[in-house]
Chains A and B, each alone.
Chain A
Amino acid sequence: MPSEAELVQRAVQRDAAAFGELYSIYLNKVYRYIYYKVGNATEAEDLTEQVFLQAWEAIDRYRQQGAPFAAWLFRLAHNRVIDYHRTLKSPAPLDPSLEDRRPGPEEVVARRLDAQALQQAIKHLSEEQQQVILLRFVEGMSHAEVGAIIGKGEGAVRSIQYRALLALREILQPPEG
């Protein structure tokens, strides 16, 4: 079975089948990232496909000069989501089932965090904080990998991570009194 590096190399040389295999590898990861940013499953599927189409268009410009393929792909996904929100000229649209509110105290106690609650909570974070939470804890990337995607050093990622967790805790915590 070819390694990811081999697949990337073949894809750069316009091998569509190799690119298809890379798509299989990264489909769920990119979808997950986009889902949390747009909050709508159907839109996330469409945008995921568009990211990979864009990646195919741009792949001959991709060079393995330190930045891993995943970092390049997630940067494309991030930019696509930004374009999407810009096109809509509105904040992230949500599935009708998702209500825009913070949880009450009973819910916080009773409930375990699920994807919808997380999606609702992280949209109150800054753009960088969202990226770090998603890439670190949803995608399971290291500080270095996250840094390569968001264009920052590991130290900066650690600082953002700390502030992001503090802010997320604040959002998920019931109000005092």
Chain B
Amino acid sequence: MSDIERVLAECLTAIEKQQDTIEGCLARHPDLAGELEPLLRLAAEVRAVPAVQPSPTFQQAAVPRLLNLIRAREAGRVVPAPTPASLWQRLRSWRPSRSMAVRVVLALLIVALLSGGSVATAQSLPDSPLYPVKRAAEQVRLNFTLTEIQRAKRLLDYTDERVREMIVAARLNKPLAAERALRDYEGALLLAGAKLQQEWAAGRDVRPVMKALVLSLDRQQTALQKALPQTPPRSKAALLQALVVSHRAQERTAEFLQNNP
């Protein structure tokens, strides 16, 4: 270790413990001061960056949600999560990531080159080379859907497919593929919810779609529960988490319908 590395480390530690200051340290090491000063000031600047924190909604629900997941894992089944705030608040902040957009565009190019719609494509899993084609085809159908309510319905249709992928991937003991399907399942629910919320705020009646959603979530939960016993232990996590996500969405939807009969 060189002198500068050692002195820098000593100065940083002393400053952290408030036993020294940048100026004091530079005065004690005049021969290294030119090189030390910018590094000490940069370290101080990094330390002063305001702390990033999870959203208050996440923080509030985090422990009960985790304990619920733990109980579910221990019992091999899922208890509805006691997290009243989460879904609708997260809907408002959900945005597709840039990488997702890039993937969709790339996949669209592939779709343009292929005729699309083959059985192999339709049944592909998230770790399959054909999967981007399948998702791009979904995105094209979504883009050509006329109203926001219809788009929300279509997104909810896609959640059925994500559940199917999750179950198949989990049974084949492909936990990463199952997790990817789980993430997209939650994303589609959030996006559909956001659209329905916007439409409701604009005065349009979204209750029929909400009612259909409750039934659809019921169906998905049944399928997930049924699949659990045949799923290898390593891949159960995604299914259990999907059940929690699904229960949470169902609770929020049911609450909405109760408040707006």
Contacts and interface: CB of A to CB of B under 8 A. Distances in A.
Contacts of B59: 27-28
B9 interface: yes
Contacts, number: 137
Contact of B13 (A19, A49, A142): A142
A138 B54 contact: no
B176 interface: yes
B183 interface: yes
A169 B38 contact: yes
Interface residues of B, number: 52
B179 to A, nearest CB: 7
Contacts of A40: 97
B51 interface: yes
Contact of A162 (B39, B51, B73): B39
Given A113-B45, A118-B49, A155-B1, A44 B70 contact: no
Is the contact region of chain A dominated by helix, strand, or loop, or is it mixed?
A: helix
Nearest to B240: A53
A44 B102 CA distance: 20
Contact of A16 (B42, B70, B176): B70
Interface in B84-121: 90, 93-95, 97-100, 102-103
Contacts of A31: 52-54
A115 B8 contact: no
Contacts of B103: 90
B42 to A, nearest CB: 5
Contacts of B67: 16-17, 20
A127 B67 CA distance: 32
Nearest to B41: A169
Given A42-B90, A44-B54, A137 B99 contact: no
Interface residues of A, number: 55
Interface string B1-34: 1101110110011001000000000000000000
Contacts of B51: 28, 32, 138
A49 B99 contact: no
B71 interface: yes
Interface string A93-105: 1111000000000
B164 interface: no
A90 B101 CA distance: 13
Contact of B39 (A24, A138, A165): A165
A53 B62 CA distance: 12
A69 interface: no
A137 B43 contact: yes
Given A20-B63, A56-B73, A136-B43, 7 more contacts: A28-B54, A52-B66, A53-B73, A95-B97, A115-B50, A136-B12, A161-B5
Name the 3 nearest CB pairs between A and B, nearest first. Answer: A93-B99, A158-B9, A137-B46
Interface of B: 1-2, 4-6, 8-9, 12-13, 16, 38-39, 42-43, 45-55, 58-59, 62-63, 65-67, 69-71, 73-74, 90, 93-95, 97-100, 102-103, 176, 179-180, 183, 237
Interface of A: 16-17, 19-20, 23-24, 27-28, 31-32, 35-36, 40-46, 48-49, 52-53, 56-57, 83, 87-88, 90, 93-96, 112-115, 118, 133, 136-138, 140, 142-143, 155, 158-159, 161-162, 165-166, 168-169, 172
